[in-house]
Amino acid sequence: MRSGFGSINLFHVLRGGLQSAFIGYFLDRAENGKGYMTEVVRLIVDYAFAS
């Protein structure tokens, strides 16, 4: 069993009237198309701007 197959980073988070950030990520080719990064991006954006 593998413990990790990708990574995501959130940086240059800007607050205020126009909130923005940069997201960088990679995912093991064998895991493409399974919706993992779609879900992780949703979670990290919610974490960054709703908390």
User: Looking up tokens 């995912």, which residue turns up?
Assistant: 27
pLDDT tens per residue across span 2-51: 567 899 999 998 888 889 999 999 999 999 999 999 999 999 999 988 86
pLDDT attached to residue 37 = 93
pLDDT attached to residue 36 = 92
pLDDT attached to residue 4 = 75
Q: Do 7 and 44 touch, CB atoms closer than 8 A? A: no
pLDDT attached to residue 39 = 94
pLDDT tens per residue across span 26-40: 999 999 999 999 999
Annotated domain spans of the chain: 6-50
pLDDT attached to residue 3 = 65
How far is Cα 2 from Cα 23, in angstroms, rounded to an integer? 24
